[in-house]
């Protein structure tokens, strides 16, 4: 499922999730909402980057180039952008988009992991940004050291990263609840058991698994510690937690997955539930998901700092 996320084949997995798995194309309202949400994160990261004319910016884990292309829109033809990613298919996709936009001459595409930026010379760039990429990197501390190394003195980092730890804690709560039901009654309540199967298929559900998993073994405070340890100054961290009314419908809820290493609920139900269990789970869960009190939870850690 999730362990050692970075070491898995991350080519097609990433392009599939980024272009399809994270939001459903069947529900256009939800898709627009989800895209607007992502755009707002990218805008916030760029705001803190404080880009200027003639700057060179590195976009770590650039994906389809969302943040890089926004940066070029903002600054214009004097901005140079180095888009890095571990996924070659995504880099090729971003290059195609850059060509279509007529900005390819401003972009360099580099396949590498965030913690291995050797192809970029020391003290050669003005800004390093990363948006929802560091979360997936095994060695975050070395990545920070690399960001520091490639930045010119006075250069800035700006990142906006999801914090998945709370989702894992929820999975571990479901495990504890199930175990307490087994201790009290000999077997768990069927709905609790199914909810635990769902949650633990997407996130680690024990303290040990949480600690071993790159997606969940950090908090926003670790970002601050790593930035301090490298020698960054003027470090600013903001944790944004937004609990918003959700208007997702059941079919969309079944289809999307919270990160590329997680199966969708539909896949989990098909693979791990019996036909009877699928029926029970849908009978209880669908009205909850489609009710007015249903919420979507967003947790994003924004860090900016200067070398």
Ligand X SMILES: C[S@@+](CC[C@H](N)C(=O)[O-])C[C@H]1O[C@@H](n2cnc3c(N)ncnc32)[C@H](O)[C@@H]1O
Answer yes or no whether residue 194 interacts with ligand X by CB under 6 A: no
Stretch that binds ligand X, among 61-69, 95-103, 190-198, 299-307 (CB under 6 A): 61-69
Binding to ligand X (CB under 6 A) within 208-237 occurs at none
Angstrom distance (rounded) from CA 180 to CA 4? 30
Q: Does 131 bind ligand X (CB under 6 A)?
A: yes
Give the nearest distance from C-beta 91 to ligand X in angstroms. Answer: 9
**18 contacts: CB under 8 Å, gap ≥ 6:** 63, 64, 90, 260
Task: Tell me the closest approach of the beta carbon of residue 11 to ligand X, in angstroms.
Answer: 8
Of 157, 160, 300, nearest to 233 by C-alpha is 157
Residues 100/78, Cβ–Cβ less than 8 Å: no
CA distance 129 to 29: 29
Least Å distance, CB 114 to ligand X, is 4
CB of 290 to ligand X, least distance (A): 27
Nearer to ligand X, 12 or 179 (CB): 12
Q: Write the binding mask 85 to 124 for ligand X: x where contact by CB under 6 A, - elsewhere.
A: xxx--x----------------------xx----------
The residue from 72, 137, 285, 300 that contacts ligand X (CB under 6 A) is 137
Residues paired with residue 80 on neighbouring β-strands, in sequence order: 56
Residue 117 · residue 53 · CB < 8 Å: no
d(CA 156, CA 43): 16
Single residue of 14, 69, 226, 302 touching ligand X by CB under 6 A: 14
58 binds ligand X (CB under 6 A): no
Residues in the chain: 307
| 42 forms part of the interface with ligand X (CB under 6 A) | yes
Question: What is the DSSP secondary structure assignment for residue 214, as one 8-state letter?
Answer: T
Rg of the chain, C-alpha, whole Å: 21
- Binding stretches for ligand X (CB under 6 A): 6, 10, 14, 18, 42, 61-63, 66-67, 85-87, 90, 113-114, 131-133, 136-137
């Amino acid at each position: 499922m999730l362990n050692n996320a970075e070491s898995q084949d991350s080519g097609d997995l990433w392009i599939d999730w980024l272009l399809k798995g994270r939001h459903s194309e069947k529900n256009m309202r939800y898709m627009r909402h989800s895209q607007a949400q992502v755009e707002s994160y990218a805008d916030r990261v760029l705001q803190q980057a404080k880009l200027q004319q003639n700057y060179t910016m590195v976009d770590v884990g650039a994906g389809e180039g969302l943040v890089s292309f926004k940066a070029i829109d903002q600054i214009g033809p004097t901005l140079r952008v180095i888009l890095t990613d571990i996924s070659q298919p995504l880099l090729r996709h971003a290059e195609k988009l850059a060509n279509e936009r007529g900005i390819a001459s401003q972009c360099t595409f580099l396949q590498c992991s965030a913690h291995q930026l050797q192809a970029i010379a020391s003290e050669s760039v003005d800004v390093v940004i990363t948006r929802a990429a560091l979360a997936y990197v095994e060695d975050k501390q070395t990545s920070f050291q690399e960001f520091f190394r490639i930045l010119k003195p006075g250069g800035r980092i700006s990142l906006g990263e999801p914090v998945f730890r709370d989702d894992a804690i929820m999975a571990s709560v479901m495990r504890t609840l199930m175990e307490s039901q087994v201790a009290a009654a000999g077997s768990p309540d069927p709905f609790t058991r199914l909810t635990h199967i769902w949650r633990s298929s997407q996130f680690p559900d024990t303290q040990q698994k949480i600690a071993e998993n790159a997606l969940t073994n950090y908090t926003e405070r670790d970002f601050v510690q790593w930035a301090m340890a490298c020698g960054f100054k003027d470090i600013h961290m903001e944790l944004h937690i937004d609990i918003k009314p959700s208007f997702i419908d059941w079919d969309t809820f079944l289809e999307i997955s919270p990160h590329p290493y997680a199966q969708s609920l539909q896949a989990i139900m098909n693979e791990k539930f019996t036909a009877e269990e699928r029926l029970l789970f849908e009978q209880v869960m669908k009205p909850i998901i489609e009710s007015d009190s249903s919420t979507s939870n967003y947790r994003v850690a924004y860090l900016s700092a200067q070398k």
